Chain A
Amino acid sequence: MRGNRKLSMALLYTFLILVSLPIVVAYLWLFASSFSSKLIFGIVPRELTLRNWRFLWSEVKLGLTAFESIWPVTLNSIILAGSITILEVVVSLLAGFALSRMDFPGRNLIMKTTIILHAFPGVALLIALFYVLNFFQLLDSIMGVVLVKVALELPMATWMIKGFYDEIPWELEWAAYIDGCSKFQLWYKIILPQLKPGISAVSIFAFLSGWSEFIYSYTFLFNSEHYTLAVFLKNLIGDFRFLDYGLLAAAGLFYLLPVIVFFLISQKSLMRINFGGIKG
């Protein structure tokens, strides 16, 4: 019985290692490839070089066309992800409070409509969003992408925050009311400090999804001045795919770095939140 158990555990580990290995190999390749000019068996580095990272200090050239420098592009990505995070956190904190704590007419209607909208992924609305952005003259502007992205993520973020509000005991509020707090003071002084885990969860989620954002930037931004890292890398892949994987790997790794850092810091809470994300 015991030997049997050991054998089946060994089989189990073998299975898990076999299915997980391709993922590990793929990320190792990204790393190895970015620092070498030659790989054997597709993965083992031979000649070490920093040339693949040349986009950090010089222009990348292909024939006569030169790619824009990566630094303004990176700045754009930071602005995009940062604005999404701030706006999404502030708006969902306000709305979550109203939905969790206030009993106003229309509350139920708002909740029900949002739950149906929440099931409704924004990528299917791209054409209409194009029209709306054009109407507000927000096409080809990072702020346009920010507004779209925040609006589409708000239902989920607000629900997450509402869940955190729901767990704060009412007694705190009773006490505050008796002391003559206004609604706004109550929210700002009493409740927000209790919400730290919720705020950090929503911020991490919003930042990562803003940083990774591709499809809206790709569709709504035309001028290379407004490109984000995702669009930049997509164009780079288009041109260098069969020519220079080393360059692509280095640029990819550069773009991936903040995600890995965030992931390692906040792994536990991410595992919980990801449940709500819309990804296939």
Chain B
Amino acid sequence: MQYYMQERSLAVSSAKEAAEIYTKKHNSFFAALPFIGPFLILVILFYLIPVILTIAMSFTGMDFTLEWKFKGLANYLKLLGDKNARLVAINTIKYVVITLIINVGFGFVLAVTTAYFIKRENMGLLFQTIWMLPRMTPAVIYALLWLWFLDPTEYGMLNALLGNLFGAPPRDWILTSPMPVVIIANGLIGASLGMVVFSAAIKSIPEAYFHAASVDGATDWDIIRYVVIPFLRWPIMFMTIWQTLSLVTSYEYILLITDGGPLNKSEVWALYSYHKAFGSYEFGYGAAISVVLVAIAVIIALIMLKVFGYDALMNRGKTKV
């Protein structure tokens, strides 16, 4: 029967039509299931359900026994009165805003210098490779490098340097200024992402624009201001929103370098949730803190859909910015 169908359609029209008829016939959900099934099972079990569970758990006093003891809004009321939470919220805002400026701003500077000013491609690539290194490095090793760099004795690079240059006594940097440490450590990683994305965008600007501008007597500064930045408007906006989301929700490097300390001085919201859950086993309370992140993430995702449009985001896989 199948063969007959195909031959008939071939006889009457083009190959394209035959394929379309065949495709339509086989495009039920069940035909797709063998392909999409494993994906759905994994994503639903370990992604979608956890989102729902986080919300449900936030209304319970769950501890390490993992029993559901519903207690309504108690966790949220507790959160409102939690003095630490207030400090952590302020920390988070500081951390996100300043790191974001480094990520996008310094990322842009790196991109312009390595992809526009340096005309020798190998040279630009060399610097970009150096900046990619921390990003590729496993988080634990990256944290180790920071711990050594900031070591409180003269063994640490920073103290050795300041001691030899200015005779300054060694300082415990992580103890005295944990927030700047955390911000710079994360900024370095984020800046490399900005660099890669913006460089790709700069390389995709048609050469003719640069030629036309220099014929008109534009300086390098003019070119950046009137050619490069307008072309990079979308990537810059995308990076800003995307990085906001990553910064609000990620805490791996902070956990490894300062662990939020000393005295919660570098504790951020996401890490606070982690500490509540896996430090003092208040799973319910930790979930309530996480729900705030869930809300922020959903809002940011919706903003992204709105600003950039569904289609643009769908094609992100190809990363042609």
Q: Which of A49-57, A58-66, A67-75, A152-160 forms part of the interface with chain B? A: A152-160
- Closest Cβ neighbor of A112 among chain B residues: B310
User: In the complex, are the beta carbons of A26 and B129 less than 8 A apart?
Assistant: no
Kindly identify, within residues 50 to 67 of chain B, every residue whose CB is under 8 Å from any CB belonging to chain A. Answer: 50-51, 53-54, 57, 66
Q: Which residues in B have their C-beta under 8 angstroms from that of A121?
A: 245-246, 249-250, 297
Kindly identify, within residues 282 to 299 of chain B, every residue whose CB is under 8 Å from any CB belonging to chain A. Answer: 283, 286-287, 290, 293-294, 297-298
Instruction: Tell me whether A223 is interfacial, beta carbon within 8 Å.
Output: no
User: In the complex, are the beta carbons of A256 and B138 less than 8 A apart?
Assistant: yes
User: In the complex, are the beta carbons of B193 and A233 less than 8 A apart?
Assistant: no
User: In the complex, are the beta carbons of B57 and A30 less than 8 A apart?
Assistant: no
User: In the complex, are the beta carbons of A125 and B140 less than 8 A apart?
Assistant: no
User: In the complex, are the beta carbons of B196 and A91 less than 8 A apart?
Assistant: no
- Would you call the interface of chain B mostly helix, strand, loop, or mixed? helix
Instruction: Tell me whether B32 is interfacial, beta carbon within 8 Å.
Output: yes
**Distance A43 CA – B321 CA, assembled complex (angstroms):** 40
Instruction: Tell me whether A9 is interfacial, beta carbon within 8 Å.
Output: yes
Encoded as 1 (CB less than 8 Å from any B CB) or 0, chain A from 100 to 116 comes to 00111111001111111
Q: Known: A23-B133, A94-B35. Contact between A127 and B140, CB under 8 A?
A: no
Q: Which residues in B have their C-beta under 8 angstroms from that of A180?
A: 2-3, 6
User: In the complex, are the beta carbons of A25 and B273 less than 8 A apart?
Assistant: no
**Distance A33 CA – B160 CA, assembled complex (angstroms):** 15
Interface size on B, residues (CB 8 A): 120
Q: Known: A147-B46, A151-B43, A270-B136. Contact between A276 and B317, CB under 8 A?
A: yes
Q: Which residues in B have their C-beta under 8 angstroms from that of A164?
A: 317
Encoded as 1 (CB less than 8 Å from any A CB) or 0, chain B from 179 to 210 comes to 00000001011100100110010000000000
Q: Which residues in A have their C-beta under 8 angstroms from that of B230?
A: none
Q: Which residues in B have their C-beta under 8 angstroms from that of A25?
A: 157
Encoded as 1 (CB less than 8 Å from any B CB) or 0, chain A from 11 to 25 comes to 010011000101111
Nearest CB in chain B: distance from A161 CB, A: 7
Q: Which residues in A have their C-beta under 8 angstroms from that of B151?
A: 242, 245
**Distance A158 CA – B39 CA, assembled complex (angstroms):** 9
Nearest CB in chain A: distance from B65 CB, A: 11
A20 interface neighbour in B31, B130, B196, Cβ under 8 Å? B130
Q: Which residues in B have their C-beta under 8 angstroms from that of A8?
A: 220
Q: Which of B21-29, B72-80, B85-93 forms part of the interface with chain A? A: B21-29
Instruction: Tell me whether A80 is interfacial, beta carbon within 8 Å.
Output: no
Q: Which residues in A have their C-beta under 8 angstroms from that of B22?
A: 177
B27 interface neighbour in A104, A120, A241, Cβ under 8 Å? A104
User: In the complex, are the beta carbons of B144 and A42 less than 8 A apart?
Assistant: no
User: In the complex, are the beta carbons of B147 and A237 less than 8 A apart?
Assistant: yes
User: In the complex, are the beta carbons of B193 and A277 less than 8 A apart?
Assistant: yes
Nearest CB in chain B: distance from A175 CB, A: 7
Nearest CB in chain A: distance from B224 CB, A: 13
A271 interface neighbour in B128, B147, B161, B186, Cβ under 8 Å? B128
User: In the complex, are the beta carbons of B137 and A259 less than 8 A apart?
Assistant: yes
User: In the complex, are the beta carbons of B48 and A117 less than 8 A apart?
Assistant: yes
User: In the complex, are the beta carbons of B140 and A128 less than 8 A apart?
Assistant: no
**Distance A170 CA – B19 CA, assembled complex (angstroms):** 10
Q: Which residues in A have their C-beta under 8 angstroms from that of B147?
A: 237, 241
Instruction: Tell me whether B40 is interfacial, beta carbon within 8 Å.
Output: yes
Can you list 14 A-B contacts with CB-CB less than 8 angstroms, sorted by A residue number? A42-B157, A95-B36, A115-B314, A117-B48, A121-B249, A130-B278, A131-B66, A151-B43, A154-B47, A158-B39, A178-B18, A187-B35, A214-B256, A276-B319
Nearest 4 pairs of A and B residues by beta carbon: A163-B317, A151-B46, A95-B39, A119-B301
Additional pairs, 10, CB under 8 Å, beyond known A272-B319, A274-B196: A16-B113, A104-B31, A114-B43, A116-B302, A120-B297, A163-B318, A242-B153, A255-B138, A259-B137, A279-B250
